[in-house]
């Protein structure tokens, strides 16, 4: 007792990973049956109601008996209903021995429908009817039909009615008449069949009505979609419900994308097919032309014969077409670089950027010269610097620091104003500008040049990016009233809303040929102001309280001193306009009035 209890305690559950010794019965002496219980009982897999069935139990116990070594090894079978065999002749009649075994394994995908011919098969009743019909036909000296024709005709009716009246079973008396039913295929029938198709229709119709509209040959019952189907044991082979996928926005988007892609793919395919079509059309045309050529040559031959022309007849044969050969190397889409015949490097034919640029430059020059000839500039002592906008090659074009201004140093470029593309205007400064300053070069400043001109002129242009640029000419700088704080004044310099009030400002008359002006102009070539002044200016512009004591030796003070009056130019931003004409961009406020 203790032993078995101890055993039970130690017994481990049987594991599938555990190594088990394979022993013969004589190798073990005693076995503890208790331990067997630790092996899990596994169900037989037969339904429990059936497990208790008499014959199964008998068979199982017989088997068990054999397994434990009982001597009587009588085989116990579960009885099943008997089967009987047909006679060989009967069988051979139905199944002729005509099969030839192929050497290799059979591969086949033909379906039952493919293999069985006409699906309708004649019954005994049909036989009788057909015999009568044929007899009647023969008597009337009309053609008879074969069984196969009869079957295919019935099948035709069946298929046609299925198509035309799918719900015939609901009211079989509504079955459509012969003319309507046969209309679509009567033309395809051979004469024999047509002659009997009407009586056969009546025969078939009778059957159809007996069958209440169902197929004459009984067929399987499939689900009709109503709930009754569920429990009907004759309804079989239902479609499996497709699991409804939960709809989310993401899946929606995914399917949209899929559809788009599909659409694209199909479009591509369509394009390809279209291309193929075009190719074929062209091919066809080319054959047509070939034929025409051939015909024409025949005429030529005739003509030659007629006129007795004897030559090499080269015009009668196709010459090898060099074009095609050229196209051929391009055909393989490999990236191999072809070896050149002339021994140059493979990229010798490639054009370099530098050469391109040089060419471009040359073209430009030519055009420029051409244009120059057209322009009426030659009568003026002007150097056209249109294309040399940065003044790099211009000795007289200056990039300079501005003359000392009263308060701020603004880096200003004085650039020559180009000649007008129209005939020179009377107001153009070029006309009045004294030519003695420089015999050939006249630098026209965009900013004040003419003091004598009272009326300033403006020109409005639309620049790059739609900016509106105002070119200004002949405007003098208003003087700052002395009683206002100069810093404030400077800040308020452009804060005029009213153009008229500005126009009334006192203008400083400057004589460009005066010594002062000359001196000023001479200063244009001085180097740009140092950083300090710029910083200061920034501070001023930012409105920081920088105290500037007049005459305190600050750069500003110094700058003011030499002139004693404001510099001729306003602070302005020079902007290069697309056509190379320097323009002036005002700070925002004064943008108002359009030129002239």
Partner 1 sequence: MTSAPSHTAPSTPAAPSAPPENVSGEKSMATLSQLRMGVKLFVFHNNSGEHRLAEILSIDIRKDSPRYYVHYNEFNKRLDEWVTADKLDLSREVEWPRPDKPTKKTEKKGKASKAEPAKDGRPQKRPKVSRESVGPVTPKAPGPRQRRGTIGTDDGLVIQSEDIGEGSPEDMDIDDDEAVAEETPAGRTKTAKADGEFRQPEGFSKENEIEKLRTSGSMTQSAHEISRVRNLSRIQMGKFELEPWYFSPYPVEYTQADMVYICEFCLSYFDSPRRFERHRGKCNLMHPPGNEIYRDQNVSFFEIDGRRQRTWCRNLCLLSKCFLDHKTLYYDVDPFLFYCMAVRDESGYHLIGYFSKEKESAENYNVACILTLPQYQRHGYGKLLIAFSYELTKREAKLGSPEKPLSDLGLLSYRAYWQDTIVDILLDWKGGDLTIDELSNCSAMTTQDIIHTLQNLNMLKYYKGQHVIVLTDAILAQKERQRERQRAKGGFRTLNPENLIWKPPVFSAASRTWNW
Is residue 446 within 8 A of residue 582, CB to CB? The reply is: yes
Kindly state the smallest distance separating residue 321's Cβ from partner 1, in Å.
49
DSSP 420: P
Q: Choose, by CB under 8 A, the member of 1, 140, 220, 353 that binds partner 1.
A: 220
Residue 10 engages partner 1 in binding (rule: CB under 8 A): yes
Residue 7 engages partner 1 in binding (rule: CB under 8 A): yes
Nearest CA-CA partner of 520 in 482, 575, 566: 566
Which lies closer to partner 1 via its Cβ, residue 11 or residue 554? 11
d(CA 36, CA 426): 127
Which lies closer to partner 1 via its Cβ, residue 73 or residue 437? 73
Residues 177-216 that bind partner 1 (CB under 8 A): 212, 214
Token pair listed for 196 = 């009997």
d(CA 141, CA 134): 10
For residues 474 to 503, the per-residue mask of contacts with partner 1, x marking binding by CB under 8 A and - elsewhere, is ------------------------------
Which lies closer to partner 1 via its Cβ, residue 22 or residue 187? 22
DSSP 573: E
Alpha carbon 385 to its chain centroid, in Å, reads: 49
Residue 32 engages partner 1 in binding (rule: CB under 8 A): yes
Q: Choose, by CB under 8 A, the member of 4, 44, 146, 452 that binds partner 1.
A: 44
- Cβ contacts of 503-510, under 8 Å, gap ≥ 24: 503/456, 505/478, 505/479, 506/478, 506/479, 507/451, 507/476, 507/478, 507/479, 508/451, 508/476, 508/477, 508/479, 508/565, 508/566, 509/451, 510/448, 510/451, 510/568
Residue 226 engages partner 1 in binding (rule: CB under 8 A): yes
Which lies closer to partner 1 via its Cβ, residue 7 or residue 292? 7
Stretch of 19-27, 275-283, 360-368, 448-456 lying at the interface with partner 1 (CB under 8 A)? 19-27
Kindly state the smallest distance separating residue 240's Cβ from partner 1, in Å.
5
Q: Choose, by CB under 8 A, the member of 1, 28, 140, 374 that binds partner 1.
A: 28
Residue 219 engages partner 1 in binding (rule: CB under 8 A): yes
Residues 281-310 that bind partner 1 (CB under 8 A): none
User: Helix/strand/coil (H, E, C) string of 428-470?
Assistant: CHHHHCCCCCCCCCCCCECCCCCCCCCCCEEEEEECHHHCEEE
Nearest CA-CA partner of 512 in 438, 594, 406: 438
Burial 139-164 (b: 16+ CB within 10 A, else e): eeeeebbeeebbbbbbbbbbebbeee
For residues 129 to 148, the per-residue mask of contacts with partner 1, x marking binding by CB under 8 A and - elsewhere, is ------------------x-
Residue 169 engages partner 1 in binding (rule: CB under 8 A): yes
Measured in Å, how far apart are the chain's first and last C-alpha atoms? 129
Which lies closer to partner 1 via its Cβ, residue 105 or residue 330? 105
Kindly state the smallest distance separating residue 273's Cβ from partner 1, in Å.
25
Residues 48-107 that bind partner 1 (CB under 8 A): 48-50, 52-56, 59-60, 63-64, 66-70, 73, 77-86, 91-92, 94-99, 101, 105-107
Nearest CA-CA partner of 145 in 185, 196, 189: 196
Residue 40 engages partner 1 in binding (rule: CB under 8 A): yes
Q: Choose, by CB under 8 A, the member of 162, 198, 221, 596 that binds partner 1.
A: 221
d(CA 458, CA 591): 11
Q: Choose, by CB under 8 A, the member of 1, 3, 36, 564 that binds partner 1.
A: 36
Q: Which residues pair with 235 in a beta bridge?
A: 221
Residue 522 engages partner 1 in binding (rule: CB under 8 A): no
Residue 341 engages partner 1 in binding (rule: CB under 8 A): no
d(CA 256, CA 254): 5
Residues 104-123 that bind partner 1 (CB under 8 A): 105-113, 115-118, 121-123
Which lies closer to partner 1 via its Cβ, residue 44 or residue 514? 44
Residues 227-246 that bind partner 1 (CB under 8 A): 227-228, 230-240, 242
Kindly state the smallest distance separating residue 180's Cβ from partner 1, in Å.
23
């Amino acid at each position: 007792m203790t032993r078995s209890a101890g055993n039970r305690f130690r017994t481990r559950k049987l594991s599938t990973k555990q190594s088990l010794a394979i022993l013969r019965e004589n190798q073990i002496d005693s076995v503890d049956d208790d331990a067997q219980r630790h092996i899990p009982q596994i169900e037989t897999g037969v339904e429990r109601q059936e497990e208790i069935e008499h014959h199964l139990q008998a068979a199982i116990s017989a088997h068990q008996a054999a397994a434990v070594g009982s001597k009587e090894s009588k085989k116990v079978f579960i009885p099943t209903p008997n089967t009987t065999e047909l006679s060989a002749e009967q069988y051979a009649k139905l199944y002729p021995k005509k099969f030839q075994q192929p050497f290799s394994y059979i591969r086949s995908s033909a379906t039952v429908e493919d293999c069985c011919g006409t699906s309708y098969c004649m019954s005994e009743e049909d036989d009788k009817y057909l015999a009568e019909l044929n007899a009647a036909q023969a008597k009337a000296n009309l053609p008879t039909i074969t069984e196969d024709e009869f079957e295919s005709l019935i099948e035709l009716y069946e298929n046609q009615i299925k198509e035309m009246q799918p719900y015939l079973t609901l009211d079989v008396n509504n079955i459509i008449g012969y003319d309507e039913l046969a209309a679509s295929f009567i033309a395809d029938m051979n004469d024999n069949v047509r002659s009997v198709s009407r009586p056969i229709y009546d025969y078939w119709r009778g059957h159809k009505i007996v069958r209440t509209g169902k197929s004459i040959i009984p067929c399987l019952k499939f689900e009709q979609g109503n709930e009754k189907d569920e429990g009907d044991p004759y309804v079989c082979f239902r479609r499996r419900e497709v699991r409804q996928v939960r709809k989310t926005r993401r899946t929606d988007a995914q399917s949209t994308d899929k559809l788009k892609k599909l659409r694209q793919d199909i479009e591509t395919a369509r394009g390809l097919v279209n291309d193929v079509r075009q190719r074929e059309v062209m091919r066809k045309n080319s054959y047509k032309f070939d034929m025409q050529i051939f015909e024409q040559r025949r005429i030529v031959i005739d003509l030659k014969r007629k006129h007795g022309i004897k030559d090499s007849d080269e015009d009668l044969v196709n010459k090898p077409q060099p074009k095609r050969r050229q196209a051929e190397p391009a055909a393989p889409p490999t990236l191999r670089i072809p070896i050149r015949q002339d021994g140059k490097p493979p990229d010798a034919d490639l054009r370099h950027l530098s050469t391109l640029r040089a060419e471009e430059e040359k073209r430009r020059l030519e055009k420029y010269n051409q244009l120059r000839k057209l322009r009426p500039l030659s009568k003026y002592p002007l150097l056209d610097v249109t294309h040399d906008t940065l003044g790099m090659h211009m000795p007289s074009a200056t990039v300079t620091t501005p003359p000392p201004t009263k308060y701020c140093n603004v880096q200003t470029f004085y650039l020559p104003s180009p000649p007008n593309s129209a005939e020179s205007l009377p107001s153009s400064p070029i006309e009045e500008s004294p030519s003695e300053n420089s015999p050939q070069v006249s630098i026209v400043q965009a900013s004040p040049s003419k003091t004598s001109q009272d009326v300033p002129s403006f020109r409005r242009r639309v620049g790059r990016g739609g900016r509106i640029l105002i070119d200004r000419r002949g405007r003098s700088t208003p003087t700052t009233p002395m009683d206002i704080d100069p810093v404030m004044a400077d800040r308020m310099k452009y804060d005029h809303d009213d153009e008229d009030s500005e126009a009334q400002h006192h203008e400083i008359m400057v004589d460009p040929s005066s010594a002062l002006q000359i001196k000023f102009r001479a200063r244009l070539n001085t180097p740009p102001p140092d950083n300090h002044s710029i910083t200061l200016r920034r501070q001023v512009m930012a409105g920081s309280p920088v105290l500037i004591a007049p005459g305190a030796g600050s750069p500003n003070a110094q700058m003011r001193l030499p002139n004693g009056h404001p510099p001729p130019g306003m602070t302005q931003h020079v902007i290069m306009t697309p056509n190379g004409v320097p323009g002036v961009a005002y700070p925002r406020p004064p943008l108002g009035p359009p030129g002239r």
